[in-house]
Amino acid sequence: NALLTQSRLILLDASLIFFTGLTVMFWALFFTESHRPFGNRWWGYLLLTGVNLGNALSCKWVGLFLIATIGVWTLKDLWEKLGDLSITPAQYFKHFVARAISLIVVPLVVYLFWFQVHFSVLHKSGDGNAFMSPEFQNTLDGVNLGHTPRDVYYGSRVRIRHDATNAGYLHSHLSNYETGSKQQQITLYGFRDDNNYWVLTRTEDSEEAHQNSTTPNELQQIKDGDIVRLLHWRTHRRLHSHNERPPVTTNDYQNEVSGYGWEGFKGDSNDHWRVQILEGDSSIPDSKKKLMSIHSKFRLVHVNQRCALFSNRKKLPKWGHEQVEVSCMKSAKFPKTLWRIESNVNENIPASAPLAEYRRPSLIQKVLEATAVMWRVNNGLTKSHPYESRPHTWPWMRRGMAFWGSDSRSIYLLGTPILWWLSFVAVTSFAAVQVVLFLRDRRGFHDRLLGARERYMESVGFLSIGWVLHWIPFFLMGRQLFLHHYLPALWLAILALVGSLDLFTRRLSRKVRQVLMFALLLATVRMYFQYSHIAYGSPWTREGCERSKWFKSWDYDCSRFPVLHVTT
């Protein structure tokens, strides 16, 4: 029933389990050809295993657990071949290379292929742009970042992007903080507007010295180590920091960053920032010495407070328009204090001046960036959810998950109890049997399990190890988790149940075996129909709903179903 619900609602686990099934099938078929290594079928089944590993991984990263399962069994297989004296070193090397290509290279190629399809189909600009780097955005239809003058001079009006988070541009507007200094807000804003523009100016002493020089009208490029002031173009406030705590990140090593001053105000030393260029474009060596648009990645270090302009995606409250907080952090790590100039405007720059533009990333660079963004967003799902559950509750299905409800219908994720619980018994029984067999082997008893010991290990053992590798990793995750995360492990456990029943009933008479199988099938079908109402969202009665609740923790709402009135 749980698999049915996931499939009907077109959720990712359905396609993941489909490719998991294909992978297990081709892996099993591969071992049927083990007596004819390197034949056409041997290669075909091995390569198809790799292709479907890549397909599973392309559906969800839970496919990594499937790769781990196949990897563990591959190591076991290669270890056994290492002790087979009939296999020469050259043949063993061929076995190793064949598995490395088919089970590592091929899945990666398939993973890249589906990303290429993804990028080809979803090629337009959209609301998700802000998650990605400007280089990535520049490959989308509807985004034209164009080019901008490369060299950045004093007096230039610039738009400064935070490099590490891609959360947007250094921004200010006519709203004040409601805490701390209550001066003008400084934020990161993900969209391009005129409130993102800052004018880079000299300090008051430096400006006076420049005006008294022999070339006061000559353009002067900003260099690594220069002390600058940033004047907000629209509100005429300067970028400012002082010994006040920020509104959200209130640590002692964080200072508030604000907009301070007014038109005509000369400012003070708390407006002074030192430019530290940390990274440049290898093709333009001067980009690490002189400030350049796009090519130079730099820090702005506050001269008085010795802190660096910093952001980490924490949002301000509603009075801050829920924009991203900017602070000044002491001893900050480099990635989240790096900035880049994306747009550079200066009327005095000659038309023939060199230009800078974002490079278009390769497929692999785009995949790596998309993967990193998915990882960050996925790990950020840490808020409490009313239907979340933890992995230790999944094997006995302590609680399901509500998907949808109307006045008299409901869809609630819940498995077929008899299959769910018996499959858990099957994998735990395998572990118990292996412990007993190991202890008896140590005492000189070599049980054959009615001749089924090797088959039990090769079939149910593989599936049980897969179940463990699809379940245990969730204990290490701090993000939101739900019952549906157990479904790939459940599928393997059901196969382990079928394998166990098949092996351990072979010595029974045909009639007894048929009765056992029919009884299990009948109970399964009965439970399927009993719980199908919350799988399909079909009409139900309140009495039937209440009778189906074996545990109070199964919290689907029976009150929404009509009461069955019986008249006499």
Q: Summarize the confidence of residues 418-433 as an average pLDDT.
A: 96
Q: Summarize the confidence of residues 488-502 as an average pLDDT.
A: 96
CB atoms within 10 A of CB 107: 25
pLDDT digits 0-9 by tens, 193-230: 999 999 999 999 999 998 888 888 899 999 999 999 99
- pLDDT-based confidence at residue 313 (cuts at 50, 70, 90): confident
Q: Summarize the confidence of residues 89-109 as an average pLDDT.
A: 97
- pLDDT-based confidence at residue 507 (cuts at 50, 70, 90): confident
The long-range contacts involving 118-123, CB below 8 angstroms and separated by at least 24 positions, are: 119/363, 119/366
Residues 6+ apart with CB under 8 A from 187: 171, 172, 173, 316, 320, 321, 323, 324, 325, 326
pLDDT digits 0-9 by tens, 139-197: 999 888 889 999 999 999 999 999 988 889 999 999 999 999 999 999 999 888 999 99
CB atoms within 10 A of CB 43: 15
Position 372 scores a pLDDT of 92
Q: What is the pTM of this model?
A: 0.84
At residue 285, does pLDDT exceed 80? yes
Cα separation of 242 and 261, whole Å? Answer: 14
Closest CA to 294 of 489, 428, 138: 138
- String of DSSP letters for 324-378: EE-EEETT--SGGG-EEEEEEE-TTS-TTS-EEEPPPPPHHHHHHHHHHHHHHHH
Residues 172 and 205 sit within 8 Å (Cβ to Cβ): no
> What share of the chain has pLDDT > 90, as a percent?
80
- pLDDT-based confidence at residue 566 (cuts at 50, 70, 90): low
| CA distance readout (Å), 208 to 149, 202, 238 | 27, 9, 18
At residue 343, does pLDDT exceed 90? yes
Rg (CA), the chain: 32
Where are the extended beta strands (E) located within 62-221? Answer: 147-149, 157-162, 169-176, 184-189, 197-202
User: Is 170 exposed, middle or buried (CB count within 10 Å of its CB: 0-12, 13-18, 19+)?
Assistant: buried
Position 164 scores a pLDDT of 86
Lowest mean pLDDT among 236-240, 318-322, 495-499, 500-504: 500-504
Closest CA to 540 of 411, 368, 393: 411
> What share of the chain has pLDDT > 70, as a percent?
99
Output DSSP code: residue 551: S
Position 381 scores a pLDDT of 83
Residues 6+ apart with CB under 8 A from 275: 222, 223, 224, 225, 226, 227, 228, 291, 298, 299, 300
At residue 289, does pLDDT exceed 60? yes
β-bridge pairing 327-329 and 308-310? antiparallel
Position 568 scores a pLDDT of 47
Closest CA to 466 of 4, 67, 2: 67
Position 447 scores a pLDDT of 84
> Helices 40-59 and 12-32, interaxial angle, to 10°?
160
Phi, psi of 275 (to 5 degrees): -85, 120
At residue 310, does pLDDT exceed 50? yes
